[in-house]
Structure 1
Amino acid sequence: MPRYLTMIRIDERNSPADGPSPELLERMGALLEEITKAGVMLDTAGLKPTAEGTRVTWSGGKMSCTDGPFTESKEVIGGYSIIQAKDKAEAVEWTKRFLRTHEDYWTITAEVREIIEA
């Protein structure tokens, strides 16, 4: 079965300062338990804020490192999952279910991409 990487994009400037609500964490936990029991989830995690990250760039034969936060970025990757699904439609459906666990005041975009198998 193909594997898919889902990148969860958020706008750090408009995310709740206190992070996810306890209710969101409960709904998310229940869904993650379901997707794991279904044998679909391979790995998932949230990411620390960009203020704690570093971008490493190779351009024009030179290497540069830039410490966060990355204020020029409107959306950043706030988390990811790697799932194994029968097809892209199933991967997208699980992603939709994950997004629906969030309250209405969240603005989240998820990008679902198939992983190229070597």
Structure 2
Amino acid sequence: MRFMTMIKMDETALSSETPPGVYEAMGAFAQEGRVNGTLVELGGLMPSSAGAIVSLANGRIKAVDGPFAEARELVGGYAVIDVRSREEAVELGRRLMQIHLDNWPGWEGSCEIRQIAGS
């Protein structure tokens, strides 16, 4: 079963420097996932000012450049994992949150976990 995990956070946290311990712990997490075959892909995302939203409403397509003032929480990073169960995916989500708790004092956010269709 494949799942996408999305780390959601207040975008203002992206404007501060990510502590080196977060990168080190995420590197170890990624290496472990590659070795045991659970990690398919992992990455961080740039602030919304580097992106855009393309939407369709009332029969019209509109593109709006970031930053996105209406968004309180944005996806700051993601991982695609291949695991045996939803429970295993949730446990990996807990580990991702623990990395932030242990290495980024005051950081707050969440990890949304969604099964990928057809997996």
TM-score, normalised with respect to structure 1? 0.92
- The alignment-based identity, stated in percent, is 34
Once residues 18 and 66 of structure 1 are traced to their aligned partners in structure 2, the CA distance between those partners, rounded to angstroms, is: 24
TM-score (norm 2): 0.91
Q: Distance in 1 between matches of 2:65 and 2:93?
A: 30
Stretches of 4+ moved more than 4 A in 1? none
**Equivalence for 1:105:** 106
**Counterpart residue number, 1:36:** 34
CA distance in 1 between counterparts of 2:107 and 2:34 reads: 24
User: Any residues of structure 2 matched to 1:1-118 within 5 Å, and which?
Assistant: 2-13=1-12, 15=13, 17-102=15-100, 103-117=104-118
Q: Distance in 1 between matches of 2:77 and 2:15?
A: 17
Which one has a larger percent helix, Structure 1 or Structure 2?
2
Q: How many residues are treated as equivalent by the alignment?
A: 116
The 3 A distance-change label for structure 1 pair 3 and 105 is same
RMSD: 1.4
Structure 2 unaligned regions, length at least 5? none
Give the unaligned 5+ runs of structure 1.
Answer: none
